[in-house]
Amino acid sequence: MILGGIPFDAEKLLFLALSLFAIVVTFSNGPHLVVAKSSNNSNPTTTTVNVGVVLDLETWVGQMGLSCINMSLSDFYSSNPSYKTRLVLNVRDSERDEVAAAAAALDLIKNKQVQAILGPQGSAQADFLIHLGNKSHVPIISFSATSPSLSSIRSPYFIRAVQNDSSQVNAISAIVQAFGWREAVLIYVHDEFGEGIIPSLRDALEEANTRVPYRSLIPPTATDDQILQELYKLMSMQTRVFIVHTLPTLGSRLFAKVKEVGMMNEGYVWILTNGITNLLSSMDSSIVTSSMQGVLGIRTYLPGTPNLDNFMVQWTTKFQQDNPSILNPTLNIFGYWAYDAAQALAMAVEEMGVLNFTFNMLNASTDATDLNTIGVSRNGQKLLQELGDTTFAGLTGNFSLFNGQLESSTFQIVNINGNAARRIGFWTQENGLLRDLNSINTSKYSTSKSNLLSIIWPGDSTSVPKGWEIPNNGKRLKILVPVKYGFEEFVKVIRDPSTNTSQVTGYCISIFQAVVEKLPYALPYELIPFAFPNGTSAGSYKDMVDQVIYQKYDALVGDTTIIANRSLYVDFTLPYTESGVVMLVPYKDNKSKNAWIFLKPLTWELWLTTGWFFVFIALVVWILEHQINEDFRGPATHQFGTSFWFSFSTMVFAQRESVLSNLARFVVIVWVFVVLILTQSYTASLSSLLVVQNLQPTVTDVNQLLKSGEKVGYPRGSFVHDMLKQMKFTDSKLVPYHSVEECNKLLSNGSAKGGIAAAFDEVPYIKLILSQYCNKYTTIPTFKTAGFGFVFPKGSPLVRDISEAILNVTEGPKMKEIENSWLGSTTNCLDSTTSVSSNSLGLDSFWGLFLIAGAAATLALLIFVVTFVKRNWHIVASSSGTLWGKFVALGRRFYQKDLNYHTFRKGRSRDRSTVEGAKENAPVETIENMNSPPSLSTEGCLEIAINGELTSVN
């Protein structure tokens, strides 16, 4: 078992010596006994209970705490004179020493058999006393030991009647998060008090995405030179946000030196924990006014109540009466906690009732140490339980212990101006930052800086510090750049052996220079090639990233890809190039054409529908023209051929037959419109298909390469090699290349001739290749990556500003100018990333046209049928046969010429004289049965007498 780094056996000897020393001192100076006075101390039924008090009586907190404890017991028993118990205080001075505190506690437990100890004052002292309390079952009740390391879980007999330091870390984190600071340096005293808060504070900052790049440990007894040395180190860093956790004694000396070295100027941020802010009134006012202006702080919130105000007046009066040499005494939060702790102990003892407040002594050997003979309190467990159940309205609010310690969920946020701390807001566990407690929103936790009042920052500035800056001590950022063999358009290093200097240019460097120009401040930097003394490359991109991880360099600028496993250890800026890894493949040499390619522009459904409509339109036109148009009459084969010839010839607009019917003309006009659209679409689709067929890639899928066992290429030293390995490419199938020319040569040779079938690379490199060989290759998208980015150490504050500047550059014309300057223009090349397939035209694209054509033809047919039946209705009406016979009669009538049509009337007028001359010499045939079909003469004509005229009908 280790106590403060001392072995347990040695500790026994130490405590034996100290206890003897304490006993001698106690009896030589007389008993330092304080009895709580009450109105009925002489009451024989009153039971006195010994209680120990261990404080640093030479300090203000110790003196103030003791007076508050006495006043608390006096007030308590005066208000409750009938109570049966009275606490008797046995006070010991720990003299600011851990060993003296332990010796005093050992003496109180062994010789006075105290039932509880109020104190000790410091966290380091409490670490000793906690073990004594556990061993003797004596509760140790401290109102000022705030270190989280003094956990009541492992120390059941330790009662912390004060707030745990870790309860304020979320309030500090909320402030940092509100102003967007990404780094903060922790400055704390190197002891139990200082180190106890650090783990929880770092966790809270990390949850707010704030990095702690450095922790500054200052010894409690540090000299001014040691403090100055540490401050100079902090000045050389970029971070300008400092969180200070010390006690006022060391804090006063620290801030005096902070002011001296110029770290209280504009741009700096100082945040105090309540270790200083709660005791700010006890600090030297000259230090506060001269060296701490603009500092932020966290302070325990005390709700103002009449009881609190009355107590302050009463305590001030009584303390000055007891201590006339001390002028203007100031009461702080620790005095209130001491008052409440003493009252809680008195209430718990009273609840226990009148008991035998003694110890069970242990049988020990003659050579046993005092630790083995101190005994165990018979009522320690019961007293501990009563303390845990005690609740009342104390000076600091509701007094209630949870897990052995006092809890509070509200803190004040203050800004030091003048000689006092001005409140600018509150923080609560439930609502975060609040301007005042009346604006509580129970549904939302806020870290908005708008919830705080105006702040005056160091240097009397009202502008929010950005939290970091480049040190003005002449230091330049050391920026690493790669040394490349090929693709030097991105980064090119020209080394001058005579001067041992290097000139760095390239696409990535030009972008970085443009980005730096967009920053609102000067950023001095130095580009350092990653090379050996002879100028050769010193390693891969992974090696360069490792240099940044180990912070040997401040950044890496070059063609570095943002990938997941790298981002775990470094921070990338936003990408400044297009993202993705693509496969570059040659076009096919497609000299042999498909003999049936002319069928591909249309789908089979569209071909069949078009053919059916040609037949349909031919039938409709024949029906509409058969009675009136000589071109559509004659033998059946002639009529069939003419109709189909007419319909299909509209496809090339080469029909020679004229149509006479207006209905037929209407149908033909609509159909010609449909045919026009179809032919134009077919021509365009066929042209596109023929062009695309000439641009077909040799490979369209990565799996095709794996199955065929083709070799593929990748840029040497790139992460693409690992990606291809994950895709199951073997090393024997992977061929590295260094430059654009080498990649072109490998692709031209092909896998069979020692080259490669495809090259895998990132989009910027592929664009460079296509700018020179855009007519030879095409690309197939393969993987998604984030593009190129600049690399900085994890948590670097530069990342945010550089990323914003990248957006300004990429959104303007400067980016295109740099790209054209270094990578060339590819505007005249075909878009090789588009799809290389051409879809055939389907029926779904033209069904509307066919619907119009079909509707027009059907409407024309309906009009013709209605007109024809109406004109020949007398034939149906005069026929006495069956219904079928009437349809046959109409069919025969349809098959005959319509002699009333105007074209035939014109023909009869021209032939009338010839016909009349023939009537005198020729006999007239009278058709007696008009229902029988006419017979054809040898000349193919039939003479019919109708209305006294001679007419010939074909």
Query: How would you write 131-159 as a 3-class SS string?
Result: HHHHHHCCCEEECCCCCCCCCCCCCCCEE
Distance, C-alpha 65 to centroid of its chain: 50
Cα 450 from chain centre: 23
Q: What is the mean pLDDT of residues 198-208?
A: 93
Q: Is pLDDT at 818 greater than 50 in this prediction?
A: yes
Higher pLDDT residue, 283 or 931?
Answer: 283
Please, which pLDDT band fits residue 912 given cuts at 50, 70 and 90? low
Contact 239, 213 (CB under 8 A): yes
Is the pLDDT assigned to residue 690 strictly greater than 80? no
Q: Please say if the pLDDT value at position 2 is more than 90.
A: no
**DSSP line for 259-287:** HHTTTTSTT-EEEE-HHHHTTGGGS-HHH
Q: By percentage, how much of the chain surpasses pLDDT 70?
A: 83
- Cβ atoms of residues 374 and 136 within 8 Å: yes
Weakest-pLDDT range from 12-21, 287-296, 789-798: 12-21
Q: Are 723 and 784 in contact (CB under 8 A)?
A: no
Torsion angles phi and psi, residue 360, rounded to 5: -90, 115
Say if strands 397-402 and 391-394 run parallel, antiparallel, or are unpaired: antiparallel
Residues 6+ apart with CB under 8 A from 841: 601, 602, 603, 606, 681, 682, 685
| pLDDT over threshold 70, residue 916 | no
Neighbouring residues of 215: CB distance < 8 A, sequence distance ≥ 6: 185, 186, 188, 198
- Supply the mean pLDDT for the chain: 82
Supply 612's token pair.
């059916």
CA–CA separation, 537 vs 531, rounded Å?
Answer: 4
Give the lowest-confidence range in 553-562, 581-590, 602-611: 581-590
Task: Annotate 438-451 with b (16+ C-beta within 10 A) or e (fewer).
Answer: eeeeeeeeebebeb
**Which has more confidence, 926 or 370?**
370
d(CA 371, CA 369): 5
Q: Is the pLDDT of residue 413 over 90?
A: yes
**Mean per-residue pLDDT, 189-196:** 91
Q: Token pair of 371, please? A: 């630790």
As a whole number of Å, the end-to-end CA separation of the chain is 133
User: Of the candidates 551, 574, 553, which has an alpha carbon nearest to the alpha carbon of residue 562?
Assistant: 574
Burial class (CB in 10 A: 0-12, 13-18, 19+), 490: buried
Which pLDDT belongs to residue 25?
A: 40
Which residue matches tokens 């028993």?
Answer: 77
Per-residue model confidence (pLDDT) at position 369: 59
Residue 494: is its pLDDT beyond 50?
yes
**Residue 162: helix, strand or coil by DSSP?**
strand
Backbone CA torsion sign across 676, 679, 682, 688: negative
pLDDT of residue 390: 94
Question: Any idea what the Cα angle at residue 631 is, between residues 628 and 637, rounded to 5°?
Answer: 115
Give the DSSP H or E segment for 414.
strand 410-417
At residue 335, does pLDDT exceed 70?
yes
Position 42 pLDDT exceeds 70: no
Q: What span, in angstroms and rounded, lies between the C-alpha atoms of 392 and 840?
A: 86
With CA atoms as reference, report the closest residue to 308 among 62, 68, 67: 68
Candidates 50, 70, 55, 34; CA nearest to 112 is 50
Query: Of the segments 130-134, 406-410, 874-878, which one has the largest average pLDDT value?
Result: 130-134
Is the confidence at residue 6, as pLDDT, over 60? Answer: no
> What percentage of residues in the chain have a pLDDT greater than 90?
40
pLDDT at residue 463 greater than cutoff 90: yes
CA-CA distance, 97 to 104, in Å (whole number)? Answer: 11
Residue 372 pLDDT grade (very low, low, confident, very high; cuts 50, 70, 90): low
At residue 282, the pLDDT reads 84
Kindly tell me if the per-residue pLDDT of 944 is higher than 60: no
- CA nearest to 338, candidates 292, 297, 395, 419: 395
Cα dist from 822 to 363, 366, 507, 806, 826, whole Å: 91, 92, 6, 18, 12
List the Cα angle 450/452/458 in 5-degree steps.
110
**Inter-residue contact 121 to 94 (CB < 8 Å):** yes
Is the pLDDT reported for residue 179 higher than 70? yes
d(CA 258, CA 292): 9
Other beta carbons within 10 angstroms of residue 310's beta carbon come to 10
Comparing 221-235, 495-509, 748-762, 924-938, the range with the smallest average pLDDT is 924-938
- What are the start-end ranges of the H helices in 735-797? 740-749, 763-773
CA dihedral of 350, 356, 358, 359, whole degrees rounded to 10: -110
The neighbouring-strand residues paired with 12 are none
- 934: closest CA among 923, 925, 924? 925
**pLDDT-derived band of residue 680, with 50, 70 and 90 as boundaries?**
confident
575/786 Cα distance (integer angstroms): 7
Neighbouring C-beta atoms of residue 597, cutoff 10 Å: 12
Asked whether residue 385 carries a pLDDT value surpassing 90, the answer given is yes
Q: In this predicted model, what pLDDT tens digit does every residue of 540-576 receive, in sequence order?
A: 889 999 999 998 999 999 999 998 889 889 999 999 9
The three-state secondary structure class of 118 is strand
What gap in Å lies between CA 316 and CA 328, rounded to an integer?
Answer: 8
For residue 913, give both structure tokens: 């004289």
Do residues 758 and 583 lie in contact, with contact meaning Cβ atoms separated by under 8 Å?
Answer: yes
Confidence check: pLDDT of 39 > 50:
no
Helix (H) or strand (E) holding 215: strand 215-218
Number of H helices, E strands in the chain: 30, 35
Mean pLDDT of 864-882: 75
- Looking at per-residue pLDDT, the higher value among 576 and 28 belongs to 576
pLDDT of residue 250: 94
Among 62-76, 687-701, 802-816, 843-857, the minimum mean pLDDT is found in 687-701
* Contacts for 100 with CB less than 8 Å, ≥ 6 apart: 18, 93, 94
| Torsion over CA: 223, 226, 232, 236 (sign) | negative
Please give the DSSP secondary-structure letter assigned to residue 935. Answer: P
Q: Distance (Å, rounded) from C-alpha 400 to C-alpha 392?
A: 7
Cis omega before residue 329 (within 30°)?
Answer: no
**pLDDT reported for residue 954:** 36
CA 273, 275, 279, 285 dihedral sign is negative
Structure tokens at 909: 């007028």
How far apart are the C-alpha atoms of 544 and 541, rounded to whole Å?
5
